[in-house]
């Protein structure tokens, strides 16, 4: 169904107007959060100045919590469990760690329409289309950021979050991005109220019984990104 929506134009696509590919990099070892942020900030400035091209960077982090600009102190339930980093992205508290695929998206919206709402919708469509390739039906919910799955449990049906989204724009160039739970340790989320939502939990591909590994997730994300945002060109990871 989403494929039909993408093809019909119901989902807003954001290709580069001249078909220029975005660079696509995948780090194979966990990247410390401060180093990743420092690189993103420098890359965004270079894109703004016309000295570097767009980049999508896939990676994993060591276990940590990040606090977005809307975070509330009370949502940090265990400040001693993992390092806590305050960040410029939108949103509240989020966990990152091994088994979670983070995708940092550095795109030049000056070339792609200068439409923040359309950009966010396109990111959501990217994640949902990627999940469909992994045999998971991802959905959006009013008032709740991210991508959710409805599932049957011993206690009845419930909705859990499988992917988070938090972005920042600097002079119309994006950074930060999305995170998809492939097979992280879900108990690590217990140190925070994820994204400020107390009535629902978190899940992962593994928790849903999917056999997909990180390589499968990366392949799905790449194929779907090209459908939503246009072609990519693989490059060496920066870190």
Six token digits for residue 22: 């975005």
> Cβ neighbours of residue 72 under 8 Å, at least 6 residues apart?
92, 196
Six token digits for residue 228: 């939503």
Task: Round to whole Å and give the CA distance between 191 and 172.
Answer: 34
> Cβ neighbours of residue 80 under 8 Å, at least 6 residues apart?
none
- Catalytic residue (one of 105, 192, 195, 221): 195
Tell me whether strands 93-96 and 156-170 are parallel, antiparallel or unpaired: unpaired
Task: Round to whole Å and give the CA distance between 192 and 190.
Answer: 5
Task: Round to whole Å and give the CA distance between 62 and 31.
Answer: 7
For the chain, how many helices (H) and strands (E)?
A: 5, 12
Active-site residue 63, yes or no? no
Helix runs in the chain, H state only = 2-8, 33-48, 109-112, 116-133, 214-228
Task: Round to whole Å and give the CA distance between 125 and 15.
Answer: 13
Task: Give a three-class secondary structure readout of 61-106.
Answer: CCCEEEECCCCCHHHECCCCCCCEEECCCCCCEEEECCCEEEEEEE
Active site residues: 195
């Amino acid at each position: 169904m989403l494929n039909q929506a993408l093809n019909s134009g119901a989902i807003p696509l954001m290709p580069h107007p001249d078909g220029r590919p975005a660079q696509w990099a995948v780090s194979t070892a966990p990247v410390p959060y401060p180093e990743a942020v420092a690189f993103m900030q420098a890359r965004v400035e270079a894109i703004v100045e016309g000295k570097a091209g767009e980049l999508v960077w896939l990676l994993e982090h060591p276990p940590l919590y990040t606090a977005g600009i809307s975070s509330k102190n009370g949502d940090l339930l265990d400040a001693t469990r993992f390092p806590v980093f305050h960040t410029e992205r939108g949103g509240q508290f989020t966990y990152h760690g091994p088994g979670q695929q983070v995708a940092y998206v550095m795109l030049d919206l000056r070339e792609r329409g200068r439409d923040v709402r359309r950009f966010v919708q396109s990111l959501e469509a990217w994640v949902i289309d990627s999940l469909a390739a992994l045999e998971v039906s991802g959905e959006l919910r009013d008032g709740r950021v991210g991508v959710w799955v409805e599932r049957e449990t011993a206690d009845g049906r419930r909705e859990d979050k499988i992917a988070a989204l938090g972005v920042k724009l600097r002079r119309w160039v994006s950074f930060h991005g999305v995170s998809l739970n492939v097979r992280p340790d879900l108990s690590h989320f217990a140190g925070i109220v994820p994204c400020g939502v107390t009535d629902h939990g978190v899940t992962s591909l593994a928790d849903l019984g999917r056999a997909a590994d990180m390589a499968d997730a990366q392949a799905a994300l790449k194929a779907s990104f090209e459908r939503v945002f246009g072609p990519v060109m693989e490059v060496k990871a920066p870190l």
